Structure 1
Amino acid sequence: MMGKLINDRVQEDLEKWLKREQRFQKIFSSPLADSRSFLKEKLKYYDTLRSRYGNGATREERTTLRLMREDRSAIERQLYPNILVRFAYRVSSLIHKEIEIQQEQRRDHANLQELRTAVTRLDFPENAISERHLEAKEHLPFTYQIAENQQMAVHWYLSREPDGTYRFNGYRATLITEGGPQRTQRFPLDGMDEITAGQAYNLLSGRSVQIGAERDRHWVKLDLNDKDRDGNHKVKRFYANYNYSLKDQLAKIPINSLANPGQMKMLEAALRNGERKKIELSGGGYLSIEANPQHRSIDCYREGQKIPFGQVIKGRSERNKKFRTNGRLRKGIEGIDRRRIIR
C-alpha cells in the first residue's frame, strides 16, 4: 500500500520525537529533563500516539505502547507529585483525549474522501480505496474483472504525512490474463502523465494512448519486451514532431456509417484513449482498428487476425477507381468516399 512497509509505527514516531529532542538539546543550554514546558509537550505527544495507535496496534506496537506508558507515568509523577493534582490532570487529559479522537475521526474521514476523489478522477470506482488500505501493514490490491478471462489488480501508492494523513502518489496496475502473460506497471501521479484505469488497461494490452495537454500532448506506448530494474516496462513517447496524424490515417480507410462528424469524433477519441474499436466498411464487412503512432498507421484486425494496413488502403483505392468517370466531384464529407456525378 505504501512506499515502504512500517513494522512499528509507534517506534517510528518516537524516533522522530527523539531527533527533535536532540535538536533542541543542542540549541538550549539547560537540560530538557528540567523543563516543565518541554515535559508537558512530551506528555501531549505520548497521549497523541496512544490515541492514534491504541485501538489498531499490532503486537509489536502494543509492546512499544506499554513501554511508552511507563515512561509517561514517570514524567507525570515528576510534573505533578501531588496525587490530587495528578488526578485532576488525568481527568483533564481524558476530556482532551476525547476531543482529539473526534477531531482525528473527522480528519481521517476527510482524508479518505480526498483519496477517493483522487482515484475516481482516474475512473476507478469510489470503493476501490477504503479504510482497510490505510490500516493494513502490507499491500492490499483492489481487483476487478475486465473481461471474461482478464482481471486487473491495483496496488495504491500512499505516503504518510507528519499529521497522520495519507497522500495519493499513484498506483501499480497488474493485468492478469488467463493462460497468458501477467503484465505490471507503475503509474505515478505526476500531473501531465495521469493515466486512467482504462488507459492503464489499454497500455498493458500493448496499445498506444495519447496523453498530455496542448503543446505537451503526445502518444505513449509500453515496450512489453523491455523492463527497467524496478520491473516497469520502458515507455516509448511520440511527440508532435514525430508527424503522426490519426485523422489522416483514418481518412484512408473506407469506413461506412460515419457521415455524422460527431461519430467520427467519438471514434477518434476512443482510439486516442488506446481502445480497439469495431468499424463497418463501406464495401461490406467489419474490421477492428487501433492507433499505431510508432509506425504512423492504424492496426487492423478481422476476427482476431491482423490485416496489413496497405491491404485495407488498397481496397479503398480500387473502390475509388471504380467510380472514376468524366464529370465533376460531388461535395462530400472528409473521410467518406466521393463519387463523380455523370452529366
Structure 2
Amino acid sequence: MKAIPISDAIASALKRGNWLAYNQLATVQDKEFYFFQLKADAREFCYNNGSDRDRWDFTYIKTPDKFLNLAKANPQFINHQFIKIYKMNEQNVNYLKEQVKYMGFGEKLHAELEQKIAEGNPEFQLLFQTIVNQKPFEAVLNFRKSDNNDMYFFNSYTAKLEKGQGQSREQTFYINKGKGVTAKEAFNLLDGRAVFKELTNKEEQSYNAWLQLDFKNKDKHGNYMVKQYHENYGYDLAKSLNNLPVKELQTDTQRMELVKSLEKGNLQAVTLENGGKQQRIFIEANPQYKTINLCDGQMNRLKKEEIIQNQAKAPAQTNAKPQLENTEKLNGKEVHTDKGVKTKAQKEKVNKQVKEDSLLPKKRTGRKKGLTQ
C-alpha cells in the first residue's frame, strides 16, 4: 500500500470537523489524531482511549487552512508541542486583534495582521489610513516578535496628520501593557487639543493628567515634547462647564457624556442658550489656562465674558400676552379708555411689531456638525 503524506491525511481528516483529538505521547506522523464535528464527540473519544501509554487531549482548530499550512511546513515535527505552539500563536493573533481594535484602528487590519504573523518575520508594520473631520490621518503600527518565544507585541505607532497647505504633524506614541493614546486621541493631540489620560509613573503608580503636545519643541527622537497638567494643577473641567449656559448640561447623563468627550480631546458641538436664543457653537478643554475654549461655526474664537454678559443683559421672557385695561368693543373696533380707539389694522401692526422685537429663537436654515466621538 502506498503511504499517504501526513499533510494529505490531515487535510482529509479536517473535512470531518474542527475539533482535533490527539495523542500527547505520540506524533501526528503516527496517525494518532482524529477530527470531530462536535466537541462532545472529541471529549468522549479522548476519555475512552486514555491509558497508561496513551494520553489524549482535544482542541478546537479555528483556522484549519492555517493549521494545514503549518503542518505541511513541519512534517517531521507535528506533535502535542506543535499543537501547543499553534494554539499559542492563535491566541496571540486574537489578542493583538482586540488590542488593535481597542486602540481605535478598527478591524480592517485584522486579515493583514494574521498574514504577517504567519510569515514569522522578527518585526513588521501595518498602515492605517482614514479621514477625520476632512483631514487625512494615518498611522504606521509597529509589531515585534519576542526574543524568548514566538509571541508578537504591538509596541508603538507613528501617527501623521495633514494640516493642509502642505503642512503636517507627526508623533510616535508608545504602548505600555496594552494601554496608551488611542488613534482618535492621537488625532486630537496632533490637531492641538489636550487629552485627559490615566498614566503610570516609574514606581508603577497610576495618576491622571492632561496631555498636550508642545509644537515649538522636540526631543532627540524628533517627537514633540509633551506638556502634562497633573490633577493637582487645579483644572476642574466640570466647574468650567458650569459657568457656561450650555443646553447639554441639563441632565446628569448629558453632562457625563460631554465631559467624557472633552476629556478625549474632542472638539464638541453644543447648544448655547443666550438671552432666549439658541446658538450652535464648538467647545474644547483648555487645561493650561483652566478654562473652556469656544468657537463659532467658522472656528472663530468667542469670548466667554461677552456671552455671559449678553445673557445677563437680555430682558426676561414671559409667555403672558399683553393685556389692555378697560377695553370694550364698539362697532367692531377695540376701544381703550386711556389711548383711544385702535382699528383692526392698527392692532395687526402692533402685533407684528411685537413679534419682530421678540427674543424668541428664529428658525435656522442649517447647522454645522463637529466631532462627537
State the TM bucket, normalised to the shorter chain: 0.5 to 0.7
What secondary structure, in the 3-state scheme, does the structure 2 residue paired with 1:122 have?
helix
CA distance in 2 between counterparts of 1:102 and 1:159 reads 19
- The AA in structure 1 aligned to 2:140 is V
Distance 1:316 1:286, change over 3 A: same
CA distance in 1 between counterparts of 2:230 and 2:285 reads 14
* Alpha-carbon offset, residue 100 of structure 1: 6.1
Aligned length: 233
CA distance in 2 between counterparts of 1:133 and 1:177 reads 32
CA distance in 1 between counterparts of 2:269 and 2:235 reads 21
What secondary structure, in the 3-state scheme, does the structure 2 residue paired with 1:231 have?
coil
CA RMSD after TM alignment: 3.0
Alignment of 1:65-144 (within 5 A): 94-97=75-78, 102-129=83-110, 130-134=113-117, 135=119, 139-144=125-130
Equivalent of 2:239 in 227, 248, 254? 248
* Alignment-derived partner of residue 289 in structure 1: 283
Q: Select the structure with the greater relative contact order (CA < 8 A; seq sep ≥ 6).
A: 1
Which runs of 5 or more structure 1 residues have no equivalent in the other structure? Answer: 1-50, 56-92, 324-343
CA distance in 1 between counterparts of 2:144 and 2:87 reads 19
Distance 1:216 1:99, change over 3 A: closer
* Alpha-carbon offset, residue 118 of structure 1: 1.7
Equivalent of 1:261 in 245, 252, 262? 252
- The AA in structure 2 aligned to 1:124 is F
* Alignment-derived partner of residue 165 in structure 1: 151
Equivalent of 1:204 in 183, 190, 199? 190
What secondary structure, in the 3-state scheme, does the structure 1 residue paired with 2:310 have?
helix
* Alignment-derived partner of residue 337 in structure 2: none
* Alpha-carbon offset, residue 234 of structure 1: 0.6
Alignment of 1:277-316 (within 5 A): 277-283=268-274, 284-302=278-296, 303-316=298-311
Deviation string 1:20-44 (CA, Å, 9 cap, x unpaired) is: xxxxxxxxxxxxxxxxxxxxxxxxx
Distance 1:313 1:128, change over 3 A: farther
Q: Percent identity?
A: 25
Distance 1:262 1:233, change over 3 A: same
CA distance in 1 between counterparts of 2:210 and 2:95 reads 29
CA distance in 2 between counterparts of 1:233 and 1:159 reads 28
* Alignment-derived partner of residue 37 in structure 2: none
TM-score by length of 1: 0.60
* Alignment-derived partner of residue 85 in structure 1: none
Distance 1:102 1:215, change over 3 A: closer
CA distance in 2 between counterparts of 1:172 and 1:139 reads 10
Distance 1:180 1:246, change over 3 A: farther
Distance 1:157 1:192, change over 3 A: closer
* Alignment-derived partner of residue 15 in structure 1: none
Distance 1:313 1:126, change over 3 A: same
Deviates more, 1:140-149 or 1:233-242: 140-149
Which runs of 5 or more structure 2 residues have no equivalent in the other structure? Answer: 1-68, 200-204, 317-373
Q: Which runs of 4+ in 1 moved over 6 A?
A: none
* Alpha-carbon offset, residue 272 of structure 1: 0.9
What secondary structure, in the 3-state scheme, does the structure 1 residue paired with 2:266 have?
coil
- Mark the structure with the bigger radius of gyration: 2
- Pick the structure with more helix per residue: 1
* Alpha-carbon offset, residue 192 of structure 1: 9.8
What secondary structure, in the 3-state scheme, does the structure 2 residue paired with 1:250 have?
helix
TM-score by length of 2: 0.55
